[in-house]
Homo-oligomer: A and B are copies of this chain.
Amino acid sequence: MNKDRLIYLPLGGAGEIGMNCYVYGYGAPGKERLILVDLGVTFPDMDGAPGVEVIMPDIQWLAERVDRLEAIFITHGHEDHIGALGHLMPRLGGKPVYARKFTANLGRGKLEEAGLASDALRVVEPRPMVIEAGPFKVQFMPLAHSIPESAALIIDTPAGRIVHTGDFKIDRSPVVGEPWDDAAWEALAAEAPVKALMCDSTNVFSPAPGRSEATLAGHLAELIAKAPGMFVATTFGSNVARLKTLAEAAKAAGRQVCVMGRSMKRMLSAATETGVLEGFPGTLTPDEAQEVPRRNLMLLVTGSQGERRAAAAALSRGKYLGFEMREGDSFLFSSRTIPGNEKDVIRIWNAFSEMGVTVHDDAGGLYHVSGHANRPDLEHVHRLLLPDMLVPMHGEHRHLKEHVRLATEAGIPGMVAVNGTMLDLTGEAPVAVDQIQTGRIYLDGTMLIGAMDGVIRDRIRMALNGHVLVTVILDEQDEPMGEPWVELMGLTETGRGGRDLTETMEADLADWMERAGRKVLRDDDRMDEELRKLVRQVAMEEIGKKPEVTVVVSRLVAE
């Protein structure tokens, strides 16, 4: 039973789209040498995590075994794959982090921003370069995605070869970066059998073959050329190919380009610095752009998901960096709206509509293509690699399950493994061998807090129910000094029949204090409980809500 084994353990990204974080191990059970693939974040919303900056996987399991960790590999530079690097690296013992040049450039920025040394970062070249990490030999196989230099990892282990796709699409003309190359993949498959294919599942429900980035150029050029006023376009800042297509269309239409938004500028400079992006038209600063006639200008702006602090939202609210949208201008969402962001995106659209701006989105399928492989593309990859087994990742449960169904139809055994499920891949099919406690960590302000710590739960409760503060002061003889004092936060001041809610509460609390015996008044816990109950009762009667209540009992003692 102590034979060496090959294990897989997703800590994030399996059963959700976001915060990708996958562990592989090889060795005797419990003593496997480990590598980590990706270290991403996901984004909070008001429903689940109000006030939180960013959400990342709980890597406790890995942190406790950091002596067994050989290295970290980053497949590409999207936030859901690299975003936690600056926050979690301190817990990963300075192990080397391997990434391709563009990705490493972004990673360096994240580490520096967090005040960390970036010397753990190692820039790798694509296959045939091999990185040895304990029992693992890893190669980066270039793939098209919606960011430059995405790569699949070819992970050779004593138990066989794993292909971990990362995020990808089949794109034979991706505008920036390496096109999909069937021959290269066939060569890979011929070189050694693929034991396990760990595969992106995002678009498994999309029935048509994916479209190439290059198909957009004509449509975008036409749209931009015929627009009368200023043309403003937003897309994901990391979609450097799209930015290039948009900028070239602008140039062809006699427009100069001005880029607005920190993340987009960061991506363009990383792409330029690393030589990934060539021939991008020269851009203007906002000040320079002021001097250009609107008809000859295109703004490329951040905020395709309606983010309130990004440039698109700022323009929709009024003046931004000296620019104001006007009647006759055009705004293009060259993007899709990620579920959950619809209202924010629509808010911007309507604000522009009020300004007389013509808004275009991707409803017609002309101005955006997805960065993920659709169902027929996944089937193509299954057939090309003919793996012994398939383990779907990068998807919600429904995506993973559908992906397994798809593979099973093609005769490839598969298994859904969500975050925390450890699979043994050594045999002929995946076997679940352990269930690890996983979860989420929130970056709240500057602190990391556990999702289950109760902090956020309390905030949600205050948002739903309001908050009542009660202060009572007692003297050394446990006699009330003055009457209880009530403060409301997030509650209406007036109850039924126009009564003042604070006064009603204070009167009822004072009554209770008067009737309460010495024994009760001596007992802080009891007081807390009774006063809280009473406040909630009064609130329920007066305004139909049960607020959160904080009771502060102050006891004065002789000096």
Contacts and interface: CB of A to CB of B under 8 A. Distances in A.
Interface of A: 15, 45-47, 50-51, 205, 339-340, 342-343, 346, 349-350, 353-354, 359, 363, 396-398, 401, 444-447, 449, 453, 455-456, 458-460, 462-467, 469, 471, 473, 481-482, 485, 487, 489-492, 494-496, 539-540, 543-545, 548, 550, 552, 554, 556-557
A319 to B, nearest CB: 20
Nearest to A47: B46
A513 to B, nearest CB: 15
Contacts of A492: 444, 447, 449, 453, 455
A205 B340 CA distance: 21
A12 to B, nearest CB: 16
A446 B340 contact: no
B489 A467 contact: yes
A464 B50 contact: yes
A276 to B, nearest CB: 33
Contact of A459 (B397, B466, B487, B495): B466
B396 A489 contact: no
Query: Quick one: copies of this chain in the complex?
Result: 2
A469 B339 contact: no
A354 B396 CA distance: 10
Contacts of A354: 397
Contact of A397 (B46, B350, B453, B554): B350
A463 B398 contact: no
B460 A463 contact: yes
B463 A556 contact: no
A449 to B, nearest CB: 5
Nearest to A339: B342
B46 A50 contact: yes
A469 B350 contact: no
Given A353-B396, A455-B466, A485-B552, 16 more contacts: A45-B46, A47-B343, A51-B463, A51-B490, A340-B343, A350-B397, A354-B397, A444-B545, A447-B543, A453-B492, A455-B491, A459-B462, A459-B490, A467-B467, A469-B469, A487-B552
A327 to B, nearest CB: 11
A482 B50 contact: no
A288 B45 CA distance: 42
Contacts of A557: 482
The 7 closest A-B pairs by CB, nearest first: A446-B544, A445-B544, A463-B463, A445-B545, A459-B490, A339-B342, A50-B463
A45 B343 contact: yes
Contacts of A494: 447
